[in-house]
């Protein structure tokens, strides 16, 4: 009944805001993992991005391939991806570490290319899972179900390119998008075979409404989390409030670290400490990140009493709600780059209608649409797209300001910037040394960086 879409991006680097996908691979299956379709597509790099040499090296993409004229540009690539999502909707979208990496990467691609639905994999009945989180839960709960490879540091490694082979997958070309998708399906299936009842619970986590409903009915729940390089650990506790500013952010009171009666009559100040102190007696968690939340099969009497006490303390929920929303209010919008404003508000309805029009029409029409957006982010991103893909429609002055933008990106006056600069390129190439075809790579980057400089004058 439900289809899965296992997918993976290969990208120009690790930053969702300042890098971009270069390849998308996906395998659509039915609920029994019978394959229905597979896709594997690539795209050109956008004019303002320098691909990280390390990224190209691990993904085995030659620099020249990123500017191959026969490939779609990112704007067209984003359109193709939206069509693919719509074609299979509703489905469950999943991959390996997709919640923290590929999903933000995809949203940025949609945002920066003026797609109306930047949250497409979470809308219209689509849901999300993350196989890496499922692997963590398996490690914590039923470790015998899988084999656990040891990494270079002597600790269990959860990297896909180690885990899949250790469990019997012939991972011939790891870090190729499609090969990694197959490895992910393999791991997903292994978890299903090895630990059927846990697997069934973990599948429920794809529905944020299910998770939120269970939490908010004060059931004793558990979740497996991993911090840093530590082994994943299961935490048991109870929902204790929702952030005032973000309905997806909740407080989760740990059974082992709290006394229920004390918690129920804690002051506002004490609750803030429980949330912000160390160890976190109340954890800040999200219901929309496909966490491994699940109910506890046989809760003890004291767990049930704990939940009852929390349920009966409206004050606790109010304080938690307040403290959670205060935690993330310190960002200064003024100094953010346009890419970093992706979550600075939803589009108005008229803007959204214009975005649908923008996608369908010609570049000439797009120029006038860009000027009528309410949202300044859309005007800025729209101008950028026209400069990238229809520069002939710009005045000489506008073309020059684009060149200036490129020069500032690649040779910034600030020392630390969150994107790949010319200096980063030269030092990375030096570090990669004989692992790459040095002359060809240097030539590529020199040409690309110089082109921005020449244009500048």
DSSP strand pairing (233-242 vs 92-95): unpaired
Spatial CA neighbour of 138 closest among 8, 273, 294, 266:
294
CB of 116 to DNA, least distance (A): 27
Q: Determine the Cα–Cα distance for residues 93 and 83; give it in Å rounded to an integer.
A: 15
Whole-number minimum distance, CB 12 to DNA, in Å? 7
- Nearest-angstrom CA–CA distance, 73 and 47: 10
Q: Which residues bind DNA (CB under 7 A)?
A: 8-11, 13-14, 52, 54-55, 58-59, 96-97, 100-101, 132, 151, 153, 157-161, 175, 180, 226-229, 275-278, 280, 283
| Structure token digits, residue 181 | 């998708």
Compare residues 19 and 214 and give the one whose CB is closer to DNA.
19
Residue (168 or 229) nearer to DNA, CB: 229
Select 187 or 211, whichever has its Cβ closest to DNA.
187
Cβ distance to DNA smaller for residue 133 or 366: 133
- What are 39's two structure tokens? 């896709």
CA atoms of 202 and 192, how far apart (whole Å):
10
Tally helices (H) and strands (E) across the chain: 18, 10
Q: Which CB atom, from 90 or from 151, has the smaller least distance to DNA?
A: 151
Biggest CA–CA distance in the chain, Å, is: 75
* Least spacing, CB of residue 244 vs DNA, in Å: 17
Nearest distance from residue 157's CB to DNA, in Å? 5
Shortest reach from residue 222's CB to DNA, in Å:
16
Minimum CB separation from DNA for residue 233, in Å? 11
* Nearest C-alpha neighbor of 251 from the set 267, 263, 265: 263
Name the β-bridge partners of 42: 23
Query: Residue 224 and residue 63: Cα distance in Å, rounded?
Result: 40
Of 187 and 369, nearer to DNA (C-beta) is 187
């Amino acid at each position: 009944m439900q289809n899965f879409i296992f997918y993976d991006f290969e990208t120009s680097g690790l930053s969702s805001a300042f890098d971009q996908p270069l390849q998308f691979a996906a395998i659509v299956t039915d609920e029994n993992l019978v394959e229905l379709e597979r896709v594997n597509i690539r795209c050109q790099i956008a004019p303002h991005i320098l691909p990280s040499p390390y990224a190209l090296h691990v993904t085995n993409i030659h620099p020249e391939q990123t500017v191959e004229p026969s490939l779609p540009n990112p704007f067209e690539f984003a359109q193709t991806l939206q069509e693919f999502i719509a074609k299979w909707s509703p489905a469950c979208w999943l991959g390996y570490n997709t919640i923290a990496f590929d999903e933000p990467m995809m949203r940025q691609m949609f945002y920066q290319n003026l797609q109306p639905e930047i949250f497409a994999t979470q809308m219209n009945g689509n849901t999300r899972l993350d196989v890496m989180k499922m692997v963590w839960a398996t490690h914590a709960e039923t470790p015998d179900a899988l084999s656990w490879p040891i990494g270079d540091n002597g600790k269990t490694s959860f990297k896909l390119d180690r885990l899949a082979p250790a469990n019997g997958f012939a991972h011939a070309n790891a870090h190729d998008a499609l090969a990694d998708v197959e490895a992910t399906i393999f791991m997903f299936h292994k978890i299903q075979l090895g630990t059927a009842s846990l697997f069934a619970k973990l599948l429920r986590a794809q529905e944020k409404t299910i998770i939120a409903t269970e939490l908010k009915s004060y059931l004793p729940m558990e979740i497996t989390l991993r911090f840093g390089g530590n082994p994943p650990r299961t935490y048991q506790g109870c929902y204790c409030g929702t952030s005032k500013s973000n309905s997806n952010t909740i407080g989760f009171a740990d059974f082992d670290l709290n006394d229920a009666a004390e918690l129920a009559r804690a002051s506002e100040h004490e609750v803030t400490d429980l949330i912000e102190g160390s160890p976190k007696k109340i954890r800040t968690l999200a219901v929309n990140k496909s966490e491994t939340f699940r109910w506890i099969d046989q809760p003890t009497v004291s767990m049930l009493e704990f939940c009852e006490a929390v349920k009966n303390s409206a004050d606790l929920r109010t304080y938690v709600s307040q403290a959670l929303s205060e935690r993330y209010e310190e960002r200064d919008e003024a100094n953010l780059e346009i890419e970093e404003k992706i979550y600075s508000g939803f589009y108005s309805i008229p803007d959204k209608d214009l975005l649908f029009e923008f996608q369908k029409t010609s570049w000439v029409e797009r120029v006038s649409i860009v000027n009528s957006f309410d949202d300044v982010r859309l005007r800025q991103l729209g101008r950028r797209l026209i400069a990238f893909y229809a520069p002939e429609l710009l005045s000489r002055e506008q073309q020059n300001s684009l060149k200036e933008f490129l020069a500032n990106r690649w040779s910034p006056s600030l020392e630390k910037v969150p994107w790949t600069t010319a200096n980063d390129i030269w030092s990375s190439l030096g570090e990669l040394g004989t692992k790459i075809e040095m002359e060809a790579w240097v030539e590529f980057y020199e040409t690309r960086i110089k082109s921005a400089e020449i244009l500048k004058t």
